[in-house]
Structure 1
């Protein structure tokens, strides 16, 4: 009889992390005796079973994970600084998910208190090993690989993290679904956090001890000359990128003090002049002469690559799809941002990996995704452009429309959306799922990684992955096809482990299968997290805690809709059409509240206008017989006659008085010039406080439309770098990269009036396309 299964680890908060580099772990075969015992247990985290020892070093050891295709890295020293760096490395990347950064599956502590990390196991070698074995590499392949590293660094810099150890041994080549090389940047053990506030995962985390000036961390030859004198900044990583290209292309490190072009260092290398200039600019000894940002480095590197892509290049998939960047990669497939040269449009190109393409079930699953996208069209679903999914196909692929935005997971782990934004996102996603359900398609995999949200204007949501769909009988009845699938050929596919995931509905986790209401549960869970920034919990009575407990501004109708989606029993849940109706009712409720607030504000303003502002009691001014009285009388006459009295005062403005009834015997005198009143005698109407300034990101997003127009003037991709100073409500510097004079003027004009709530000093780069 088998014992109970080990508890499934809670995947919430699992992080991305860099696998150990060569300086940290050295292959040791069986390893010295006692290392396994030093790890504290054969099973860590209550789930991860240690296998063979893969390597050990002065700081940590790495074991194979027997029950998962992963590696377990455990810190082996008691040094407090080493522990802090080990833990911080995971925290840095908690909310970053980038295809060229290695992924961490879990972090925690062993029973003995040693921190550990569970990393994806990379089936490849680092570039330093390849350089030793093969010698200098072809320059175009180096450009392709370093461009991927630059993309990963840009993601790190965006949240204020400097890697500061960019070198070939920290770049690992892994398998790819195409002949294009695919690499991952590893080892953030000495990364520098510029501002923890900008790292979304840093809430409540004490900042790391700052490295003293004069103490250099990194590898000699890959950090710039000013490293002992300055705190790490993005220029350090720019220098590392330049040194990495130079070494891979020539087989030797550059000498910044006596720089020789790569063509001289290795004659016959074929390095083009534009790449020579780029590397020289990245390795400039003086910081002010060096490229300032990885974004600029990446833009120039991309230009080199594009100009040298030939029709038979491995960077052209199927002879027409130009592979630009990797958007995501999993165990079964990878997705590229690509450009169809014949159709002249950008697409998301999903390619099944070679190992997965050899599994019949994965081929069928891949084909079903294409069929589902073909059958159902909705603005929140990608549109199918092209596909090749036949069982005889060596490299199956699906080309679909490119959806914009950031992952919903990155939003709810780093913050939350406003109730109105959640309503908009919920209506869009529920509409897409309702359309799938109407065609007999159950999605089964709705979660934060599979949803993109574009917040550059009105929120736009997209459900980007339909790779785990289940087709019901009515799909085959409704889907128009030349060769219908007979019932006996309708394959029931496996779950792919979905029942073990924490966004899966309770009935599916219990092995009872998925229905359309299972998608309702997953969507409700996602919306709850987007609204509150946390997972739902139950109170002491076992009832789900209302989202209004976390967000008082949440409309009751929205809270009720979300709670209704999260019922444990499918019969107690609303279906997707019903959820759409509830979200519509919540939107109406919110609109009515907004209208009521506007009416109330208007009534208060009207009441304010109706007040009589009198400088002093009338008796103190001599009744209505003096000059003030005559002004009031003149205003009264104008009001009674329906005319308009316009004053062009050269001194203090006249005091406004309500119309009054005139005594019958009182003669009306012509208005006389008014003497200036004493300042303390004038009571001015209270003015409304100015509206609060938007957040910096909201303020920038409001200029998106104009900045996209600027990108059209630039002829395509436009990178705009924004720099804010602490306590300032406007940017102190805005620089456009990849632009000409016209587009630069356009950018200056677009950002000239941007004002935002003061924040901490920071620099970030945004990308705009026409």
Structure 2
């Protein structure tokens, strides 16, 4: 079949096809796309699909195309059907391979990396779910690693099209070791099942193996029964920290209703990053279409401070409030310096004053702005940038006169605010 597929791909504009991967649903080839002179990955489905399923395949991939541009989703460049009726998907070629290959090669991943991957992938799943798209087969093999070390989810909906393994009640799509127990019982795919699979993926990444890995000589039915009835193996037995173990167990709850949403899972992982002193990664997540987004311009001038979100955090500042704080826009991506970010955040959690020192030009201001930007959610009244420099003109003094001790040797906030607003100070 390989020779005929190669010829079919060449006829479709993809030459020099070389097989680089094979799974239950398809074969992946590295090809040269002639029209754009670029190397791409082409996945050809090996399932024998009828016309109805081919149409469904194209429809599913068009839906997944809505996720194009998400930093943690592999972009679909093209979909089609070869002359002999084989559906194929074209994506960028990512030479770093999959998370599954990484686990098999290196074993367990460092905690910091597992949490970072979890936050990023939760954002990808959460964005998909908010657009009504299910993945149906989240697993390490469907998470590719970019050249920049970022995880990217691929193969949305393919398991649903290509068929799956059968139970006594239904055809189940996905990979057994990462499939939620209710799916094995014949229930329909759901966002909660995707979250379970992501939790199972994190379990594999941090322990080096799947929670319900198929045992040597174990029948498939026996594996199903074990997944459906046995509790999730305790990650703590593999040295996983208490809070991280609890998050994974929460995501892999046997009751779908008790699992967090993908976005909530991402927030739990971010909280764990903060707790352990790691840089807190951003979760790329589209706004929830079910939540009305109010314009800050329509809010009354004397509106009260925003209420805290669940978990005690303040809502993210609007773009207007960010400008009010005087923080400059970050026009370029902030790359690296994760250690310095973590140290700065830890320092500010215990002290009201931190100092960044270094020779001119090493990026102290850039780092300070980044730290301030990421800290905005923790301060409901905003984070302000105050440029400090040598004062040559006394008329430019703003805050200093506000720092006048009162009779009880305190500085009143009201005096400082009036001075910053350009108002005269009261006579005391």
Output the TM-score relative to the length of structure 2. Answer: 0.56
Maintained 8 Å contact 2:136/2:157: no
Distance 2:46 2:189 in 1: 28
Over aligned residues, Cα RMSD in angstroms?
4.2
Correspondence for 2:332: 350
Q: How far apart in 1 are the matches of 2:283 and 2:175?
A: 28
Residue 172 of structure 2 corresponds to residue 216 of structure 1: yes
1:324 aligns with 2:282: yes
Give 3-state SS (helix, strand or coil) of 2:175's partner: coil
From the superposition, tell whether residues 84 and 120 of structure 1 become closer, same or farther in structure 2 (CA, over 3 Å). same
- Contact 1:75/1:83 (8 A) holds in 2: no
Q: 1:60 & 1:104 partners in 2: Cα distance?
A: 16
Alignment of 1:641-660 (within 5 A): none
User: Which residue of the other structure, out of 47, 51, 56, is the alignment partner of 2:16?
Assistant: 51
Q: Which one of 96, 99, 113 corresponds to residue 127 of structure 1?
A: 99
Deviation at 1:235, TM superposition (A): 0.9
Cα distance, 1:324 vs. partner?
2.3
Q: Give 1 or 2: higher helix fraction.
A: 2
Mapped pair 1:272 → 2:237 = no
Q: Deviations over 1:184-221 (max 9, x none)?
A: 0111244669xxxxxxxxxxxxxx9xx99632111112
Counterpart mapping for 1:15-30 below 5 A: none
Given candidates 11, 32, 35, the residue that maps to 2:5 is 35
Alignment gaps of 5+ in structure 1? 1-30, 194-207, 316-321, 329-339, 355-389, 401-710, 717-770
TM-superposed CA distance for 1:105, in Å, is 1.9
Task: State the Cα distance separating 1:154 from its structure 2 match.
Answer: 0.6
Tell me, in whole angstroms, the C-alpha distance in 2 between the residues paired with 1:116 and 1:105.
Answer: 11
Matches of 1:298 and 1:94, distance apart in 2: 23
Q: 1:512 corresponds to which residue?
A: none
TM-superposed CA distance for 1:160, in Å, is 1.2
1:553-564 matches, within 5 Å, as none
Counterpart in 1 of 2:31?
A: 65
Alignment check: 8 A CA contact 1:60 1:77 kept: yes
Tell me if the contact between 2:127 and 2:285 (Cα under 8 Å) persists in the aligned partners: no
Q: Which has the higher contact order (CA 8 A, sep 6+)?
A: 2
Q: Pairwise mapping of residues 497-536 of structure 1 onto structure 2 (< 5 A)?
A: none
Match of 1:160 in 2: 132
In structure 2, the partner of 1:282 is 251
Q: In structure 1, how many angstroms separate the alpha carbons of the residues matched to 2:380 and 2:56? A: 42
- Alignment match, 1:617: none
What is the CA distance between 1:352 and its match in structure 2?
9.0
- Aligned-partner Cα distance in 2 for 1:57–1:259: 26
Q: 1:231 aligns with which of 188, 201, 204?
A: 188
| Inter-partner Cα distance in structure 1 for 2:86 and 2:231 | 46
* CA deviation after TM superposition for structure 1 residue 301, in Å: 1.1
Q: Number of aligned residue pairs: give it.
A: 286
2:57: which partner in 1? 86
- Deviation at residue 112 of structure 1 after TM alignment: 5.0
TM-score, length of structure 1 as denominator length: 0.33
Counterpart CA distance in 1 for 2:256 and 2:245 is: 18
Aligned pairs for 1:679-690 (under 5 A) are none
**Helix, strand or coil: the match of 1:226?**
helix
Gaps of 5+ in 2: 213-226, 287-321, 337-360, 371-376, 383-428
Contact map agreement 2:58 2:80 (CA 8 A) in 1: no
Give the Cα–Cα distance (whole angstroms) in 1 for the partners of residues 49 and 14 of structure 2: 26
Q: 1 or 2, which has the higher strand percentage? A: 1
Matches within 5 A, 1:319-718: 323-325=281-283, 348=330, 350-351=332-333
* Cα distance, 1:226–1:42 mapped onto 2, change above 3 Å: closer
Deviations 1:670-708 (A, max 9, x none): xxxxxxxxxxxxxxxxxxxxxxxxxxxxxxxxxxxxxxx
Larger Rg: 1 or 2? 1
1:293 equivalent in structure 2: 261
Q: Residue 410 of structure 2 aligns with which residue?
A: none
